[in-house]
Amino acid sequence: MSTNTPITPDVMTIPRKSVDGVLPNLIGMMRPDLANALAEIGTPPKQIKMRAGQIWQWIYVKGARRFDEMTNLSKDFRALLAENFSLTRPEIVTKQVSEDGTRKYLLRIAGGHEVEAVYIPETDRGTLCISSQIGCTLTCTFCHTGTQKLVRNLTPAEIIGQVLVARDDLEEWDRPPSYKRLLSNIVLMGMGEPLYNTDNVRDAMLIAMDNEGIALSRRRITLSTSGIVPEIIRAGEEIGCMLAISFHATTDEVRDVLVPINRKHKIAELLEACRNYPRLSNSERITFEYVMLKDVNDTDADARRLVNLISGIPAKINLIPFNPWPGSGYERSDWKRIESFADIVNKAGYASPVRTPRGEDIMAACGQLKSATERARKSRKQIAAEIEGQ
């Protein structure tokens, strides 16, 4: 059968519209699922691989938003696709641009939920910080997202959709290979714990890395976790991206409070998983994130303990001045304190950039993300009670 043979009605299955009228989204489908979906609507078996490749290119290289843009597919086939599938992206509700160029997108996804993604331009790169969940089940005491109840995990389409929407906004589709990307890096550091949604995060990141699509190197993707040890091992094997650990304390006593998952996976166990993370080397180091909280975790003794704990792990340390939010109960360490801490870490041979707060004026900085519709903020007391109960 020639590749141009129109698909006749007798091989079509009934449109796949589900009861609630939602068509399956081709965005976020892995290649085998995409091929299956095309088979189900009656695409001749010999054409499936090629059609899937063409559609993949339209979605991830050219940024197509509608099937009728896919001009190398026959009109009939485009109509058939449109009848059976959607190309649904998160919808931009608001876009705020900070004085420093940071862009914060508030995005609406299915169910009327909202998530945030933040684009941070730098001189040598542009990083998109994306969310993996609506809210978070963990209750790190210094984190604004942690005060928002988990609503649900994001789907692969909603995760990769954040990248698509940012590329739309940056007008970054279908560029020649020599083009210097504005969106060159992804960090999974937005709302949620990516390793409580590992499968969907993995699929979305494999899509982002696919060479015939967005084609970001795995070394340009960093996943940040509070320390879900068994999943760290899977992330290394199944995603292969760079790893960041929200470390934040140098004793179990303090970490148990700041990052309550530490009660389940202690510092020693977490560091063991880090030591075993695949491909660690000087060019592929683990980032240890450390939020600087005044009089909580910021002494010189903490700095020394930190370098001792991670000794032998190819690492960099990212010091994050605490970003305040209403009712947090914490304060940012003084700059002098942060400098003294950084100095000890530097002298021990670790790069320790202090993360300049970006987009603070639009509440886009680390830990400040929280969707406007999810105002059901837990009180400090409630959080404390939950930690006690764990």
Q: What are phi and psi of 33, to 5 degrees?
A: -70, -35
DSSP string for residues in 57-113: HHHHTS---SGGG-TTS-HHHHHHHHHH-B---PEEEEEEE-TTS-EEEEEEEGGGE
| Closer CB to ligand SAH, 35 or 309, in the complex | 309
Report the partner that residue 323 touches, choosing among ligand SAH, ligand SF4, none (CB closer than 5 to 8 A by kind): ligand SAH
CA angle 134, 138, 139 (to 5 degrees): 110
Q: Which residue of the chain is nearest ligand SAH when measured via CB?
A: 367
Residues 283-342 that bind ligand SF4 (CB under 6 A): none
- Taking CB under 6 A as the binding criterion, the range among 131-139, 270-278, 337-345, 379-387 that sits at the site for ligand SF4 is 131-139
Residue 256 as a binder of ligand SF4 (CB under 6 A): the answer is no
Residue 138 as a binder of ligand SF4 (CB under 6 A): the answer is yes
Q: Per the residue annotation, which of 114, 116, 289, 374 is the catalytic one?
A: 116
Residue 295 burial (C-beta neighbours within 10 Å; 0-12, 13-18, 19+) = exposed
CB of 62 to ligand SF4, least distance (A): 34
Q: Of 198, 166, 152, 168, whose CA–CA distance to 64 is shortest? A: 168
- Taking CB under 6 A as the binding criterion, the range among 20-28, 139-147, 207-215, 235-243 that sits at the site for ligand SF4 is 139-147
Question: Is 116 a catalytic site residue?
Answer: yes
Q: Which residue of the chain is nearest ligand SF4 when measured via CB?
A: 146
CA atoms within 13 A on the CB side of 364: 26
Residue 246 as a binder of ligand SF4 (CB under 6 A): the answer is yes
Residue 145 as a binder of ligand SF4 (CB under 6 A): the answer is yes
Report the partner that residue 88 touches, choosing among ligand SAH, ligand SF4, none (CB closer than 5 to 8 A by kind): none
CA distance 284 to 264: 27
Give the residues lining the site for ligand SAH (CB under 6 A).
140, 142-144, 189, 193, 224-226, 246, 289, 291, 320, 322-323, 366-367
Question: Is 274 a catalytic site residue?
Answer: no
| Closer CB to ligand SAH, 84 or 246, in the complex | 246
| Closer CB to ligand SAH, 67 or 322, in the complex | 322
45-48 contacts at long range (C-beta below 8 A, 24 or more positions apart):
46/1, 46/3, 47/1, 47/3
Give Cβ neighbours of residue 355 (< 8 Å, ≥ 6 apart).
318, 319, 320, 321, 366
Report the partner that residue 98 touches, choosing among ligand SAH, ligand SF4, none (CB closer than 5 to 8 A by kind): none
Residue 29 as a binder of ligand SF4 (CB under 6 A): the answer is no
Residue 231 as a binder of ligand SF4 (CB under 6 A): the answer is no
CA distance 81 to 103: 34
Residue 226 as a binder of ligand SF4 (CB under 6 A): the answer is yes
- Taking CB under 6 A as the binding criterion, the range among 10-18, 64-72, 140-148, 163-171 that sits at the site for ligand SF4 is 140-148
Q: Which residues are catalytically annotated? A: 116, 366
